[in-house]
Amino acid sequence: MMSNQPCDMAMTSVTGHLMEMDFQDPFRKWHACDPLQLFDAPVYKTIPQEKAALEVTLKEEARRSDQLVLWLDCDREGENIAYEVMQVCLSANSRLAVFRAHFSALVDRDIHHAAQNLGRPNSNFADAVDARQEIDLRIGASFTRFQTMLLQSRFNLPSPSADRKLVISYGPCQFPTLGFVVERYWDILGHVEEPFWAIHCKYVQQLPPLATTAEFSWQRGRLLDHHVAATLFEMCIDNPTATVTDVSGSERRKFPPFPLNTVELQKRASRFLRMSSERTMKVAEELYQQGFMSYPRTETDSFPPSMDLRALVSDQASNSAWGDYAQRLLDPAANLWRAPGNGGHDDKAHPPIHPTRASVNGEPNWSPDHKRLYELVVRHFLATVSQPAVGFETIVSIDIAGEAFSARGLMITARNYLDVYRYDSWGAHTLPAFQTGQQFTPTDLELRSGRTEPPPLLSEADLLGLMDKAGIGTDATMHDHIKKLLDRCYATKDANTRFKPTPLGEALVLGYDNMGYELWKPHLRALMERDMRMVSEGRKTKAQVLADTLRATKAAFMDAREQQQKLIDALALFFDRTNADGGGGQGGGGGGGGGGGGGGRGGGGQVVGAMGPCPKCRTAHLVLKQRPAGGFMAGCSSFPLCREAIWMPSALIEATLADSHCSNCRPGPLACLNLRFRRSDIPPQFEPIQQGVCIICSQDFRDLLEACGSSRPSFAPQSRPPPPPPPASHGAFSGSRPSSAPPFRNPTTPPTTSASTAPPQTRGRGPGRASAAGLGRGSQGRGSATGGATRSSRTEGQGQTRGGRGGRGSGGAERGGGSRGRGGSGRSGAGRRGGRRVVGATGENIGFVRSSELVNGGSGAGGGGGDAGCYTCGDPFHWSYECPLNQ
């Protein structure tokens, strides 16, 4: 019976979305177009090959049918899938009458009710999903191609497999989620430890056979001034008699949780069961499909008054673990029943998550995770319809030498919902009997010290809460965004479900943060989610949201590409550059040339850790790095904007971050280092192992640097006189040093290795930089050129981003035999055909700067080929979709 009419019904199913959205063929290949064009390129929805059989089945059944009833999930995603099915079926039989079944659980009563109360599909829900898919496709594809082509060939990045390079993906939800993880990690690194002191008072009342204890808290909390704290403590010691000034008591209640929605289910499963959000949703979906719980994707946390909750409780009365409690709930004499609380959220589609069928001791095919999650859902539901726990709290206030203290005691008088909801606790503590005016001598009175601690890494429950609060993703997609962080090697999760960014994740956020454009912040995505919700409610159109959102993100993309060098510089702080890094690649500044400068300061190295705020620019971080060729240095993360650098002696063989920080350093405390030197390479008056050394203000460390001939910090804290400035020349320091030590260098210039002494395979391959100045409408950028040995003696270059005259690039140390390249003359004003001709030392190689700001670096002795140009015929003047061979 359908709508009270008899009928013959044929049932079939689909697996997720039947269609997928993609670009048309000329724009699908990575090198076929400028990533900027993806914001406007045509898109379409098509059925993938693996689901062609489903399409055939739907069309065959549609031709034999008069009505189509859509039984898809009753949320926005389900509605979009319903429209995909409807589109396929109507293409085979346009006379079909289409209806929509609305239900919340796969149980008899819900299914029969839906069959007799059919509705119509909601086009607003489907449009909202289409808008989200198109926005995510355009933003994700453009930024992913931009990042990957810009960075993949420049740096030695972690790879998911030996035969596959890492795709540096970008997602409008994925990156703000990563931003939360990185921001908390930076909060931890930037935490300033401060000592504090507090007076602690304890009184033990001996009443055999029991002893009752009262722990009194100081009303002042804790003080950061030791002298003041010690003075007040001495006053208490001189007059230790405590006088009870007040004894008060009142009833306290601990309320049960609100009904369960999707986000809260994931948070509680993570906190109580140590289950990941992805695993939680997978298990919840399987329990729903088996009919044991309601639809698991809902924002609602309040039950409608019409819902028969007592019937649901009655179903659980036979369970051996919580059946007795369910029976007590239904007993009027127990006075345990209470109407559930209202969490204030209702998506108008589904009720809160609740059990729909009883399982006595779990089903045979259930895993331990199925049993634990089902138990959590049942116990949570039973708790929501229970009375709160009741207790009596006593507060005792005392006075010692004018200082106020207080203690709290709690006696639980009725546990109520705590009897079934074992995940909550309410600790009872009994105090001794006190009366106002009573005097006693404390058993213990001491001045305790401690140090402030940084916040912990984000747990999965914390991360879900932040995403929910900021509007990042939906209840059905949050777990996917978290999983992608792990799959993309942007973050790791430890055994305590706490997240820490990987060097790649931190570098990407740092690069975008240095641009000043908060693409890693949640604001932009939150606006998108708000607009898509308005589409689903019919308050905005799909076309309006697409136009507004893509206009804003396209501007952000263009801004990011103009400042792409900041992204490169950020990655250079964490990863080694590849030998193929020639400054080419899309969107860059100058071309590769015939061999540019060698290892610039940002040229790679493994990051040991962030030490704290840079003492020179006071805005970025000072980062400790181990250089690829060995040795250590500390440099500012905002290089080249700030060129603060401290080059460690070659005698240093190990450097790690110490637990201590230097409080004298400004603008904030700087992490001290644990250092281990080679005994034979340092003067005898210095110890080979030094713990907790501040490399900025430690006079002993500066003396050691001077003795070994390495660079000293160019900036010292204001609390101490600054060290003498480095000599203007780049020659050796005049002081004595071991003959094996490298010469002293200006902090802005790393120590050099002569080309004649460098290993043959490194000549002409070291990473370096050449600047590119934009002319006309072009934007400024930085290219890269390679050549010389570890570092060339000079790197000069003038490039052009939008046609016009090519620059001149000279590279390679003259003494090192590095190759030299000379820029030819491009056609001024030639628009997109303008470019630059580059002649390398090993032959004539041509690179062009396109009007779309994509750069193809030369492939001379050191320059690596760029990514721009047609991959079909090799012509750098057009993309592959414009190629005559493809017409």
Q: Measured between alpha carbons, how far is 410 from 250 in angstroms, rounded to an integer?
A: 10
Give the per-residue SS3 of 542-589. Answer: HHHHHHHHHHHHHHHHHHHHHCHHHHHHHHHCCCCECCCCCCCECCCC
Q: Are strands 67-70 and 97-100 parallel, antiparallel or unpaired?
A: parallel
In the block, residue with structure tokens 């993880």: 181
Residue 664 in tokens = 């004298």
Q: Measured between alpha carbons, how far is 140 from 158 in angstroms, rounded to an integer?
A: 21
Q: Measured between alpha carbons, how far is 494 from 492 in angstroms, rounded to an integer?
A: 7
Strand, helix or coil for residue 273: helix
**523-536 helix and 542-562 helix, angle to the nearest 10 degrees:** 170
Q: Measured between alpha carbons, how far is 826 from 775 in angstroms, rounded to an integer?
A: 13
Q: Which of 203, 295, 325, 417 is flagged as catalytic?
A: 295
Q: Quick count: other Cβ atoms within 10 Å of Cβ 513? A: 22
Cβ burial, residue 313 (10 Å; 0-12/13-18/19+) = buried
Q: What residues contact residue 698 under an 8 Å CB cut-off, 6+ apart?
A: none
Q: What residues contact residue 214 under an 8 Å CB cut-off, 6+ apart?
A: 202, 203, 204, 205, 396, 407, 409, 431, 432, 434
CA-nearest of 474, 389, 400, 489 to 440 is 400
Q: Measured between alpha carbons, how far is 563 from 557 in angstroms, rounded to an integer?
A: 10
For residue 49, what is the DSSP state?
G
Q: Measured between alpha carbons, how far is 249 from 602 in angstroms, rounded to an integer?
A: 65
Q: Are strands 836-840 and 843-847 parallel, antiparallel or unpaired?
A: antiparallel
Strand, helix or coil for residue 747: coil
Q: Which helix (H) or strand (E) holds 123?
A: helix 123-151
Q: Measured between alpha carbons, how far is 312 from 292 in angstroms, rounded to an integer?
A: 11
295 is catalytic: yes
User: Amino acid letter at 139?
Assistant: I
CA angle 765, 768, 774 (to 5 degrees): 130
Residue 99 in tokens = 């209806």
- Cα dihedral value 313, 319, 323, 324, nearest 10: 170
For residue 460, what is the DSSP state?
H
Please compute, for residue 419, the number of CA atoms within 13 A of its CA located in the half-sphere on the CB side: 19
Q: Measured between alpha carbons, how far is 753 from 337 in angstroms, rounded to an integer?
A: 80
Q: Which helix (H) or strand (E) holds 401?
A: none
Contact criterion met (CB below 8 Å) for 832 and 852:
yes
DSSP per residue over 770-818, as a string? EEE---TT---EEE----SSSS-S--B----SSSS-----B-S-TTTT-
CA angle 82, 83, 88 (to 5 degrees): 100
Contact criterion met (CB below 8 Å) for 362 and 374:
yes
Q: How far apart are the first and last CA of the chain?
A: 57
Beta strands in 171-268 (DSSP E): 195-207, 210-218, 242-254
> What b/e readout covers 571-610, taking b as 16+ CB neighbours within 10 angstroms?
bbbbbbbbbbbbbbbbbbbbbbbbbbbbbbbbbbbebbeb
Residues annotated catalytic, as ranges? 295
